[in-house]
């Protein structure tokens, strides 16, 4: 039996702080009774080390927002308020809560306790308008979550055959295509970010530990990275292939930017790459309005893996035709449906990235039709980056980034993906699915707010005619 996939997480704090949501303030009417030290299981309240007769300032960093100390203080001396630094971070998509969640996941390798529960709306934009089916939640399939049954999260990248052809019995004539199998349905994509070589190295080493790969621009694949080359996907344009054959020869996967030339003539790209070894080519396509047509043509012309890339908030990319304002969830559903209509869906691998901010987004993107996802910004948040949404993505890396030891940076990324892996197992276990490949395109396992809204209120408000 093959070794079960397991992520080794361990608590890995950094020497500098991040965002904190609440500030707890102890008022002057505190009588130092010490009751709050007993009720807070996270030890946010302690007596002063210098003078145990009085209370020390509350330790806001460990507070999990349960409100118990505030409710139980006999003098009503405790008060909680939001940090303005917290509320001013992020934006509508990368909310401050998302940033803090990712940071804590990277620190502890476990899903953070939120204490007061979820009090927000139950629908929203993008992936937030989608709910997953948890109908199997009380059934024995949950055994998988606790390790009694194995749930596989492995995915395959490459072209698959629609059928096998035999000349005679036991005489296979079909040529089997190259496939690369990864143990998790995520690939790291840092090709859009200008990172120091040490940070890239930490991310690559985490990818090796997790049995996945990292997309890096080919001109950033320096000599020192050659030892990691099997887990690096060099990204390049079609024109750059000839100048980088020595790097390509050593890899398992290569990412080539989409251009109109290669849509109709993908066979010449494939021929060029296949001469260099058993290498799978990923074509990177921006999620423009016409992306479904582009993907269909590429698939029909033999593309192996097609990577559909949305912007950092999961919206379609604006080109000369503008943007129709769709989110990646809807774009991938259309791409998947188009390939199904063309009876070619099972032959090609679809990867998507842009706006994958949480573990649930991985599962939801797959339910919409992706085989796997690429992640970018969460890796940087794990290392202390903050994002401020505006017209442009403004990512602020911490000043102390260079001082983070390589092993610490690597472990924090392993922790982040370990947490996501646990959450994906939870989703799959609750659905009764034991192989993540079966999640792809299973829209019957999901509910979409837009569809329910139309079904429920469409007749009343005449929306069915739209
Ligand atoms: S429970 Fe209230 S009064 Fe007692 S020590 Fe804590 S803050 Fe002060
Ligand atoms: S709100 Fe809860 S977690 Fe936070 S300090 Fe009070 S008791 Fe502790």
Q: Cβ(69) to ligand 2 under 6 A?
A: yes
Global model pTM greater than 0.95: no
- Taking alpha carbons only, the member of 234, 218, 212, 216 closest to residue 157 is 212
Cβ of 67 closer than 6 Å to ligand 2, yes or no, is yes
- Judge whether residue 339 has pLDDT over 60: yes
Q: How far is the CA of 71 from the centre of ligand 2 (A)?
A: 10
| Secondary structure element (H or E) that encloses residue 205, with its range | helix 197-210
Which ligand minimizes its atom distance to the CA of 69?
2
Domains of the chain: 22-82 (3.30.70.20), 155-453 (3.20.20.70)
Which position has the higher pLDDT, 134 or 33?
33
Q: What separation in Å is there between the alpha carbon of 26 and the centre of ligand 2? A: 12
The predicted model gives 219-233 an average pLDDT of 93
Task: Tell me what pLDDT residue 147 has.
Answer: 60
pLDDT bracket for residue 458 (50, 70, 90) = confident
Ligand 1 pocket list (CB less than 6 A): 26, 30-36, 55, 73-75, 77-78
CB atoms within 10 A of CB 143: 14
66 Cβ closer than 6 Å to some ligand 2 atom: yes
Q: Which atom of ligand 1 has the smallest separation from the CA of 31?
A: 3
Distance 81 CA to ligand 1 centre (A): 17
Q: CB within 8 A of 134, min separation 6: which ones?
A: 427, 430, 431
For 119-166, how does the pLDDT look when each residue is reduced to its tens digit (9 = 90+)? 777 888 899 999 988 776 655 555 555 566 788 999 999 998 888 888
Can you tell me the distance from the alpha carbon of 399 to that of 195, in angstroms, rounded to the nearest whole number?
13
Q: What is the Å distance from ligand 1's center to 43 Cα?
A: 13
131 lines ligand 2 (CB under 6 A): no
Mean pLDDT to the nearest integer, 273-278: 92
Rounded average pLDDT over 184-209: 95
Cα of 57 from ligand 2 centre, angstroms: 13
CA of 95 to the centre of ligand 2 (A): 23
Instruction: Say if residue 466's pLDDT is above 50.
Output: no
Q: Closest Cα to atom 2, ligand 1: which residue?
A: 73
- What's the pLDDT at 130? 93
Our mutation pick for probing the ligand 2 site, out of 63, 76, 83, 113, counting the most ligand atoms within 8 A of Cβ, is: 63
Tokens of 197: 């070589």
At residue 402, does pLDDT exceed 50? yes
Place of tokens 């899903």: 111
Largest CA distance in the chain: 90
For residue 78, the ligand closest to its alpha carbon is: 1
Cα–Cα nearest to 317, from 192, 428, 433, 459: 192
Which ligand is in closest contact with the Cα of 72? 1
What residues have CB less than 8 Å from 246, skipping those under 6 apart?
A: none
What pLDDT score was predicted for residue 434? 87
């Amino acid at each position: 039996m093959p070794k079960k996939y397991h992520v080794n997480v361990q608590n890995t704090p950094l020497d500098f702080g991040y965002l904190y949501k609440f500030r707890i303030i102890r008022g002057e009417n505190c009588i130092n009774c010490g009751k709050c030290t007993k009720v807070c299981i996270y030890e946010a309240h302690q007596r002063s080390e210098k003078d145990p007769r009085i209370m020390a300032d509350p330790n806001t960093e460990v507070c999990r927002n349960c409100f118990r100390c505030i409710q139980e203080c006999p003098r009503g001396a405790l008060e909680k308020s939001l940090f303005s630094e917290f509320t001013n971070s992020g934006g509508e998509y990368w909310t401050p809560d998302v940033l803090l969640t990712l940071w804590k996941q990277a620190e502890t390798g476990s899903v953070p306790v939120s204490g007061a529960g979820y009090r927000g709306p139950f629908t929203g934009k993008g992936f937030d308008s989608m709910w997953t089916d948890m109908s199997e939640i009380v059934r024995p399939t949950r055994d998988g979550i606790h390790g009694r049954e194995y749930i596989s999260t492995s995915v395959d990248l490459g072209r698959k055959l629609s059928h096998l052809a035999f000349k005679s019995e036991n005489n296979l004539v079909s040529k089997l295509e190259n496939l690369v199998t990864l143990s998790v349905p995520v690939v790291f994509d840092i090709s859009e970010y200008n990172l120091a070589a040490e940070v890239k190295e930490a991310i690559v080493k985490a990818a090796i530990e997790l049995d996945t790969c990292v997309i890096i621009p080919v001109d950033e694949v320096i000599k020192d990275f050659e030892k990691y080359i099997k887990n690096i996907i060099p990204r390049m344009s079609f024109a750059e292939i000839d100048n980088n054959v020595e790097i390509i020869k050593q890899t398992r996967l290569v990412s080539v930017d989409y251009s109109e030339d290669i849509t109709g003539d993908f066979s010449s790209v494939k021929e060029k790459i296949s001469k260099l070894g058993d290498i799978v080519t990923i074509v990177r396509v921006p999620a423009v309005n016409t992306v479904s047509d582009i993907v269909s043509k590429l698939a029909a012309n033999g593309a192996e893996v097609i990577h559909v890339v949305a912007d950092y908030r999961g919206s379609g990319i604006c080109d000369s035709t503008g943007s129709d304002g769709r989110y990646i969830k809807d774009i991938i559903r259309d791409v998947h449906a188009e390939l199904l209509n063309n009876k070619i869906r099972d032959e090609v691998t679809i990867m998507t990235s842009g706006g994958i901010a949480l573990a649930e987004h991985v599962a939801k993107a797959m339910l919409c039709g992706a085989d796997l996802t690429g992640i970018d910004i969460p890796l940087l948040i794990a290392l202390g980056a903050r994002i401020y949404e505006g017209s442009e993505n403004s990512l602020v890396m911490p000043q102390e980034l260079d001082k983070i030891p390589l092993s610490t940076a690597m472990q924090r990324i392993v922790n982040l993906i370990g947490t996501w892996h646990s959450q994906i197992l939870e989703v799959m276990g609750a659905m009764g699915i034991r192989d993540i490949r079966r999640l792809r395109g299973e829209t019957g396992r999901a509910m979409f707010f837009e569809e329910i809204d139309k079904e429920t209120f469409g007749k009343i408000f005449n929306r069915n005619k739209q």
